[in-house]
Structure 1
């Protein structure tokens, strides 16, 4: 390699080292203080006492500066989520931890309590909402419940959600629509062509939110899936 290439490489390597140094010497303080906000105050204090000096003093000061932050603030949630994902205690695993040993009616109650739980622990609420009842469980619902969900779902959202969906889900949905409406959704699905997985997931999440909302009002029953 030429001298200029090697110089550019070394300069860039040093810039990376500088960024990492800044994180090691200061960024970790901000990270730890955000994690403390996510804890109960008593747990946060216990965690602080386990830190060595002078780290403890720096983190404590940063933690005080975040006194106005809440557990639900996006930057706090994001930091705690990163740690939980790295530890493997997130998503289905976290949801299972909350829902284990619950009967079907208790799971129903848990599912419709996500808004209340969000204020107490947003990551638990998020994992329950995304994993306790999922889009592939739609066929387990009774026809009346599916029809009620469809009345709250616009055709574009439904068409996007059904893209690449398993046949049993599509069959369950279309069987509970008029032939004309079903054909219209099928046409929309073809019109969309190739779609991004993120768009499909967003549409399915929207339908699941409708399921949760209607279940909370007692207008549909989802407990049959857990029986």
Structure 2
């Protein structure tokens, strides 16, 4: 939808999301300046930006000018830029910028900060992390899994056999705090590849909530098998994990304001595929939080959409849940329903 002309009479570019604006801004910078910005971001932010950059096409000069103008205007009102951290997929930057340039940026990011061995694992492919910890003691494996973000941890667990996966998850659920000596031992294991210090304070990690978040990110078949295996060992723990899990159907419990905020962050293509596997109540919840015209278009697109593989539906739903959890962590929405106070 086109925006109205600005006060100077010049029509700005078509509506561009904040993420695409950031991608356009970075693509206008040189490698060194882009690296200086990216090293202040966490892995997941770099992943999202890399994906956005790889999907940019036919960017008009007016759009670039509008992005730069908006950026300069917003910077004038800021005293600092607060940036978070999460999990990362190296291939996204490679796709967006090419192998050489992406590797150059990643090297600058890693060398530019005080990245510890554990933090560096967040920037690695999940298979590589699995290979690194495969032959370590199960407690070390559990500490790594608990330390990483839930989506990356779930991907890593996919590379382990069922029995090992069960052992790791039982240990993750039992974790509370980790002594500095244990973190130092783990950093020593990674010393040949990474540098950094473990610090001197105990660190809170793991627990039933972390276990639930990891299970949430597993493939549904794997998750069900793992929950059944946990139940065979500890029925009460299995129930606690299931109580804390947030699945796609739970979006019905999110208040209207939260659903509206979430929909602004989700592409229509992903939403259509995700809703193919949703029940009527959840579909109606989504429709009721859209304009009448948008809801009609979405219904038409759903009806026109042919059969979709279960794996594709689950993937789309998982992507939306990842966005929802990120927004919840940032205090932008409340996953607990309309009756609870926003955190």
What TM-score do you get using the length of structure 1 for normalisation? Answer: 0.51
Contact 2:328 2:335 in 1 (8 A): yes
User: Is 2:293 aligned against 1:180?
Assistant: yes
- Indicate the residue corresponding to 1:102 in structure 2: none
Deviation at 1:42, TM superposition (A): 11
User: Is 2:308 aligned against 1:195?
Assistant: yes
Contact 1:160 1:199 in 2 (8 A): yes
Contact 1:77 1:123 in 2 (8 A): no
Q: CA RMSD in A?
A: 4.4
- Indicate the residue corresponding to 1:62 in structure 2: none
Deviation at 1:183, TM superposition (A): 1.4
What aligned pairs does 1:126-137 form with structure 2 within 5 A after superposition?
126-129=214-217, 132-137=245-250
Cα distance change, pair 187–209 in 1 and its aligned pair in 2 (3 A): same
Q: Which has the larger radius of gyration?
A: 1
- Structure 1 window deviating more from structure 2 (179-188 vs 136-145): it is 179-188
Q: C-alpha deviations, 1:111-166, integer Å up to 9, x for none?
A: xxxxx969xxx977521446611001011110000000000011111111111411
- Identify, as 1 or 2, the structure richer in helix: 1
Deviation at 1:196, TM superposition (A): 0.4
User: Is 2:138 aligned against 1:39?
Assistant: yes
Name stretches of at least 5 consecutive residues in structure 2 with no aligned partner.
1-131, 143-147, 175-203, 219-241
Q: How many residues align?
A: 147
Task: Determine which structure has greater relative contact order: mean sequence separation of CA pairs < 8 Å that are 6+ residues apart, divided by chain length.
Answer: 1
User: What is the distance in 1 between the residues matched to 2:261 and 2:317?
Assistant: 16
Q: C-alpha deviations, 1:186-223, integer Å up to 9, x for none?
A: 22212221110011111100110011010011000112
User: Is 2:306 aligned against 1:163?
Assistant: no
Cα distance change, pair 34–226 in 1 and its aligned pair in 2 (3 A): farther
User: Is 2:335 aligned against 1:216?
Assistant: no
- Indicate the residue corresponding to 1:82 in structure 2: 162
Cα distance change, pair 76–168 in 1 and its aligned pair in 2 (3 A): closer
User: What is the distance in 2 between the residues matched to 1:74 and 1:211?
Assistant: 17
Deviation at 1:88, TM superposition (A): 9.6
Contact 1:158 1:203 in 2 (8 A): yes
What aligned pairs does 1:57-136 form with structure 2 within 5 A after superposition?
77-84=157-164, 125-129=213-217, 132-136=245-249
Contact 1:34 1:76 in 2 (8 A): no
- Indicate the residue corresponding to 1:20 in structure 2: none
User: Is 2:254 aligned against 1:151?
Assistant: no
User: What is the distance in 1 between the residues matched to 2:138 and 2:335?
Assistant: 33
User: What is the distance in 1 between the residues matched to 2:154 and 2:324?
Assistant: 25
User: What is the distance in 2 between the residues matched to 1:139 and 1:191?
Assistant: 24
Name stretches of at least 5 consecutive residues in structure 1 with no aligned partner.
1-32, 44-70, 99-115
Cα distance change, pair 88–165 in 1 and its aligned pair in 2 (3 A): farther
Q: C-alpha deviations, 1:91-120, integer Å up to 9, x for none?
A: xxx6xx57xxxxxxxxxxxxxxxxx969xx
Deviation at 1:176, TM superposition (A): 0.2
